[in-house]
């Protein structure tokens, strides 16, 4: 009995590049921590403040949301001795 099987490879969808200090909020110019890819095409970048302010509406119009606001608390603050 001959089996007819297709060669299958696994592929991972490309991940968007991590946001950097060079990525700036489209509202105020501060460092962006949120990237919103719109259902209609294009993307918007937002600082944490504006991401919180407009978050509900952004999620309604977004096809994907890349949220890196966790980076704001990832580095402990330096303490003075």
Could you list the residue range(s) of the whole structural domain that residue 39 is in? 21-67
**Does any domain span residue 37?**
yes
**Does any domain span residue 11?**
no
Determine the Cα–Cα distance for residues 53 and 25; give it in Å rounded to an integer: 13
- Average pLDDT score over residue span 30-37: 96
Domains of the chain: total: 1
Say how far residue 45 (Cα) sits from the centre of its chain: 9
pLDDT of the residue at 13: 66
* pLDDT tier at 22, thresholds 50, 70, 90: very high
Q: Is the pLDDT of residue 67 over 90?
A: yes
Among 32, 23, 24, 38, residue whose Cα is nearest residue 51: 32
**Does any domain span residue 47?**
yes
């Amino acid at each position: 009995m001959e089996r007819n099987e297709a060669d299958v490879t696994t592929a991972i969808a490309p991940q968007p590049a991590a946001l950097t200090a060079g990525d700036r909020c489209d509202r105020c110019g501060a460092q962006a921590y949120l990237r919103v890819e719109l259902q209609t095409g294009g993307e918007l970048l937002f600082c944490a403040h504006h991401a919180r302010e407009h978050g509900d509406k952004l999620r309604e119009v977004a096809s994907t949301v890349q949220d890196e606001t966790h980076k704001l608390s990832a580095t402990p603050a330096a303490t003075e001795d």
